[in-house]
Amino acid sequence: MDFNENFVLGCSAIGAGLAVIAGIGPGVGQGIAAGHGAAAVGRNPGARSEIMSTMLLGQAVAETTGLYGLLVAMLLLFVKPLVG
């Protein structure tokens, strides 16, 4: 079975959109981290800078999975590996 190029390109665009749904996970995770960070600063304002750096580090690590989704979307849209 072979499809024409526009059909494959359209399907790639849909796939790119689906891949970016991966952003939900890191969004929730980073929000939870930020919320706990705020609570920690409220409880112990003296340790503000320590809490900030730990929180940012954790958030950046949690962000990775979302970025993988973004990368897949970018590849589908701009590199077009499926269009022969």
Partner 1 sequence: MGYGVLMSSGEFDSSSFMIHGIFKYSFFGHEVWITNTHVSILIIMILLIVFSLVGGKCLKKATMKPGKFQNVIELLVEFLDGIVDKAMGKGAPKYYNYIGTLFVFILVSNISGLLGLRPPTADYGVTLPLGILTFILVHYAEVRFNKPLDLWKDKCSPLPPWLPIWLPINIISDIAVPISLSLRLFANVLSGTIMMALVYGLLKWVAVAWPAALHVYFDLFSGAIQTYVFCMLTMTYISSARGDGN
Taking CA atoms, 38 is separated from 27, 29, 63, in Å, by: 16, 14, 19
Interface residue with partner 1 among 1, 4, 46, 78 (CB under 8 A) is: 78
**Interface with partner 1, residue 68, by CB under 8 A:** yes
**Interface with partner 1, residue 21, by CB under 8 A:** no
- Taking the C-alpha atoms of residue 38 and residue 65, their distance in angstroms, rounded to an integer, is 24
Q: How far is the CB of 57 from partner 1 (least distance, A)?
A: 6
In degrees and rounded to multiples of 5, residue 83 shows phi and psi of -80, 115
**Interface with partner 1, residue 53, by CB under 8 A:** yes
- Taking the C-alpha atoms of residue 14 and residue 8, their distance in angstroms, rounded to an integer, is 10
Give the interface with partner 1 as residue ranges (CB under 8 A).
Answer: 6, 9, 13, 53, 56-57, 60-61, 63-64, 67-68, 70-71, 74, 77-78
